[in-house]
Structure 1
Amino acid sequence: MSQPTFSFTTTAQEVATVFAKEIQGKNVLITGTSVNGIGFETARVLAKHANLIIITGHNSERLKIAEDTIKREIPSANIRPLILDLSSLAAVRKAAAEVNAFPEPLHVLIHNAAATIGPFKLTADNLENQAATNHIGPFLLTKLLSAKLLAARTAHCTPRVVFVSAKGHIFCNGVNLTTLERPDPGSHESMDAYFQTKVANILTGIELSKRSKGQINAYSLHPGIILTNIMHKGDVVAGLKKLEIMDEDGRPSDKKYPWKTIPQGAATTVAAAFDPSLNDKPGAYLDDCVEANDTISPHASDSGNAERLWSLTERLIGESFTF
């Protein structure tokens, strides 16, 4: 079969149709699946082919709306809602215990959820909220579900972990390990904190692939610039105006960077989760549905940075993550 041609305008549905055979029979967990987001669109297109889609969110009402919306369109979809608050380590452990009690193995874990970009806020675990939700919580969840992922491994299937990162990782100087360990309200800048977590996503994908030695393949990606729920909250608009991604009136501006629709934005996630040509590229970073390692900033691809971040994150969760 010739390699499919994907581009900036490719939609998630188009990618799912190409890889329908790979998606068939698979069990997938996706974090952050509120309607009008790329996590929801990812769940919707995969639900047509997959055996089981576990959708997550910290708001039970929004989770129910997402489940009902998918089931109305795809009555045969096997959707299982899971309450998950990634900002709380206790809540992550509770949700992981629920998933581990499910009878099915887990073929793909997609880290899509992200915290609202906003002022400095500490979690119950004394972690900065964005760092906890976007990096530390997902790291712990991956660790706790690793046995479930390994149980899906066969001669023809290597389980995958997908991190939705962002091209914006280039706008910071890497992860500040000092403030990750000891959050400092004085030096907190909300957009910078967000970009640091996106660096952390890429580094974790690289290090997870390395440490698992072929047992689990991890990938990270840039979904594109998309008008989703998160774009209307917190300090996002001011930050995007500064980067000229939005105009003075807070509307999308394609002066510097073109915008994608939600269906286009979810496409790269589906490719990262199921494209078989990525089997021999563990740790790869994707953009527009294809491998784009050459576009990663040096601070987000440095193996030393990846190792240091991994070790510190183990310390922060109080558990070591080994295979």
Structure 2
Amino acid sequence: MSLPTFDVSSTAEQVADTFASDIAGKNVLVTGTSQNGIGFETARVIAKYANLVIITGYSLERLQKSAEALRKEGGKAEIRPLVLDLASLAAVRKAAAEVNAYSEPLHVLIHNAADTNATYRITEDDIEGQMAIDHLGPFLLTKLLYPKLLASTSSSWLPRIVIVASGAQGAGPGIDWTMLRKPHPGSPQESSVFARYHEAKSANVLFALALAKRCEGKLRAYSLHPGIIFSNIFTKEAMLPALKAMGDIKEDGSQNPDASHPWKTIPEGAATTLVAAFDHRLNDKSGAYLMDCADASETAGGPHNRSAFNSDIANADKLWTLSEEIVGEEFKI
């Protein structure tokens, strides 16, 4: 059977419907599933066909609202909420222990959550907030759930890890390794939300690359740029001056249709995640960086393609080693 070609305007539901037979019976964990976000949409369309969808969030109240809304959709999957605060290594360990106690295997792990506080903060583990939530928390969670993911392997399935990054991965020079844990006082990473965001999203891309290299033949890993979606980050008071200066939003805070980049809807923004999670045409492209539902790993050809820094396996290996040191656990494959 010939499969459709997905592109910038494809929706998550179109992708899910195409791979309904691949999603059937699968157990999937999606982080960051607040309503009106691409994580929620990702969970919603997967739940149409899957066996189990585990949704996470740090706020129990918002998580319960998401679970209730997903159940009302009437999908086939059981919706199982899991409180997970990626800013706390202790909370990550607690949540991972809960998942590992589930009787079901885990087929797909989707790292969708991101820090949307738009403010500089240091966590209880002495880690800068964006890097904690966007990379170091997910790194530890992956390490702890790795055996459970491997348990889902069959003759027709290799487990997948999907990491939602951003085109911002290519918007700077890469990661300053001396500041992976937290920025130096007075550095641009301390004073600029966007400078640190670039580093956190670079870490996402490099983590997928490292996973693909180290887990070759055991699982598949992908990172992606979902596109630019008018989500709740665009309403954060701390972000408004910078977003107005860039022309993303108008003076009244509304979305600027004349911004220098195209906007995607939430269903379009979640589409590439679904491709990364289930499209078997990517089986031989583990480690790839995706955009608009296609491989965008080449370092030339567009502003959102994977940067040279984030295509370098030496950088991926360095990130892995430093991440192990910061979380205090060795991630052996």
| TM-score, scaled relative to structure 2 | 0.94
- Deviation at residue 217 of structure 1 after TM alignment: 0.7
Alignment of 1:135-146 (within 5 A): 135-146=135-146
Q: 1:215 aligns with which of 209, 215, 218?
A: 218
Matched, 1:196 2:206: no
- Deviation at residue 256 of structure 1 after TM alignment: 1.4
Alignment match, 2:177: 177
Matched-pair contact (CA < 8 Å) for 1:217–1:282:
yes
SS of alignment partner, residue 183 of structure 1: coil
Structure-1 separation of matches of 2:243 and 2:22: 37
Matched-pair contact (CA < 8 Å) for 2:227–2:263:
yes
Alignment match, 2:317: 307
Structure-2 separation of matches of 1:39 and 1:202: 18
Alignment match, 2:71: 71
- Deviation at residue 184 of structure 1 after TM alignment: 2.4
Alignment match, 1:285: 289
Measured against aligned partners, the alpha-carbon deviations of 1:233-290 in whole angstroms (never above 9, x if no partner) come to: 2533333334333344433334310000111111110111000001100001111111
How many pairs align? 323
SS of alignment partner, residue 21 of structure 2: helix
Matched-pair contact (CA < 8 Å) for 2:118–2:233:
no
Matched-pair contact (CA < 8 Å) for 2:47–2:75:
no
SS of alignment partner, residue 137 of structure 1: helix
Alignment match, 1:265: 269
- Deviation at residue 31 of structure 1 after TM alignment: 0.2
Measured against aligned partners, the alpha-carbon deviations of 1:198-223 in whole angstroms (never above 9, x if no partner) come to: 11000000001100122011100011
Matched-pair contact (CA < 8 Å) for 2:51–2:76:
no
Measured against aligned partners, the alpha-carbon deviations of 1:162-188 in whole angstroms (never above 9, x if no partner) come to: 000011112121112111134324211
Alignment match, 1:166: 166
Of all paired residues, the percent bearing the same amino acid is: 54
Alignment of 1:21-170 (within 5 A): 21-74=21-74, 76-170=76-170
SS of alignment partner, residue 162 of structure 1: strand
Instruction: Note closer, same or farther for the CA distance 1:259–1:207 as it changes in structure 2 (3 Å cut).
Output: same
Alignment match, 2:238: 235
Q: Can you give the 5+ residue segments of structure 1 that lack an aligned partner in the other structure? A: none
Q: Which amino acid aligns with 1:13?
A: E
Structure-1 separation of matches of 2:126 and 2:231: 28
Matched-pair contact (CA < 8 Å) for 1:191–1:239:
no
- Deviation at residue 7 of structure 1 after TM alignment: 1.6
Stretch moving more, 70-79 or 123-132: 70-79
SS of alignment partner, residue 259 of structure 1: coil
Instruction: Note closer, same or farther for the CA distance 1:246–1:185 as it changes in structure 2 (3 Å cut).
Output: farther
Structure-1 separation of matches of 2:223 and 2:110: 10
Q: Which amino acid aligns with 2:91?
A: A
Structure-2 separation of matches of 1:247 and 1:67: 33
| TM-score, scaled relative to structure 1 | 0.96
Matched-pair contact (CA < 8 Å) for 1:96–1:145:
yes
